[in-house]
């Protein structure tokens, strides 16, 4: 197998709608990128985000954490607190990780995007794949590819997934075989990016007196604490 450059790119979902802003009449976003980019930018700016906030893929609602400015990160936290608001807990308590997940990129080509119900805690799924050569279970939202361990490689099958739903955006290949060593390097890099993101969240929380309990543990790692 030819040498691969494998990347696993963390992204968070910022999906905001506005009653005064009309949805594009055409879709999906990956086919009508400019229309959806304009819509997302308009809704985001009405919600207080800056015009500098740019999605990973034009028209999508996925953003790389390192590309989110300090001020936009503060706004994102406020939006997330409102989303997770519950009458039975205080406003500073959070209960789930950021929606989003990881983009699998091979030799500069986007292969797999986060699917429905995916979030940042899915990093453990990628870790389990490279740590256990007997592991064939993999869930990164639905649908998720079927996984087969083959010697020192991992085969991702996008056709015979357990949940027969369409991948969004569509996967450009029926299957892809990845070197475990290359994927391990990508996972370690992603984990370092998560660590940096966690540090930034804690800094914003501290500097703005938000008093969000266990902010990084919950929003990044999904480690819920009482």
* In-domain check, residue 67: yes
Contacts of 207 (CB under 8 A, 6+ apart): none
- Summarised one tens digit per residue, pLDDT across range 181-194 is 999 999 999 999 99
- Summarised one tens digit per residue, pLDDT across range 68-90 is 999 999 999 999 988 887 645 55
| Structure tokens, 162 | 């357990």
Tell me the whole-structure pTM to 2 decimals.
Answer: 0.93
At residue 89, the pLDDT reads 57
Q: How confident is the model at residue 224 (pLDDT cuts 50, 70, 90)?
A: low
Cα(221)–Cα(207) distance, integer angstroms: 21
* In-domain check, residue 226: no
**Counted domains in the chain:** 1
Contacts of 142 (CB under 8 A, 6+ apart): 115, 116, 117, 163, 165
At residue 3, the pLDDT reads 78
At residue 226, the pLDDT reads 44
Q: How confident is the model at residue 223 (pLDDT cuts 50, 70, 90)?
A: confident
The pLDDT of residue 1 is above 60 = no
If you average pLDDT over every residue of the chain, what do you get? 93
Mean pLDDT, rounded, for 12-24: 93
Q: Which domain holds residue 108?
A: 1-221
Contact (Cβ atoms closer than 8 angstroms) between residue 36 and residue 24: yes
The pLDDT of residue 144 is above 90 = yes
At residue 88, the pLDDT reads 52
* In-domain check, residue 210: yes
Q: How confident is the model at residue 130 (pLDDT cuts 50, 70, 90)?
A: very high
Contact (Cβ atoms closer than 8 angstroms) between residue 18 and residue 46: yes
- Summarised one tens digit per residue, pLDDT across range 161-183 is 888 899 999 999 999 999 999 99
């Amino acid at each position: 197998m030819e040498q691969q450059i494998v990347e696993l790119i963390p992204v968070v979902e910022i999906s905001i709608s506005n009653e005064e802003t009309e949805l594009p009449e055409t879709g999906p976003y990956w086919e009508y990128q400019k229309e959806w980019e304009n819509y997302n930018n308009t809704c985001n700016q009405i919600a207080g985000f800056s015009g500098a906030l740019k999605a990973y893929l034009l028209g999508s609602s996925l953003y790389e954490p390192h590309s989110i400015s300090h001020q936009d990160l503060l706004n994102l936290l406020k939006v997330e607190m409102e989303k997770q608001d519950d009458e039975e807990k205080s406003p500073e308590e959070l209960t789930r990780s950021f929606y989003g997940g990881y983009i699998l990129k091979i030799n500069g080509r986007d292969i797999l995007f986060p699917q429905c119900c995916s979030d940042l805690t899915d990093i453990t799924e990628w870790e389990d794949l490279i740590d256990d050569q007997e592991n064939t279970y993999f869930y990164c939202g639905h649908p998720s590819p079927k996984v087969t361990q083959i010697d020192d490689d991992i085969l991702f099958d996008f056709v015979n997934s357990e949940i027969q739903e369409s991948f969004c955006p569509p996967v450009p290949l029926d299957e892809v075989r990845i070197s475990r060593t290359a994927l391990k390097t990508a996972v370690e890099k992603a984990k370092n990016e998560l660590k940096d993101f966690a540090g930034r969240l804690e800094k914003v929380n501290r500097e703005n007196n938000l008093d969000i309990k266990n902010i990084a543990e919950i929003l990044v790692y999904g480690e819920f604490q009482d």
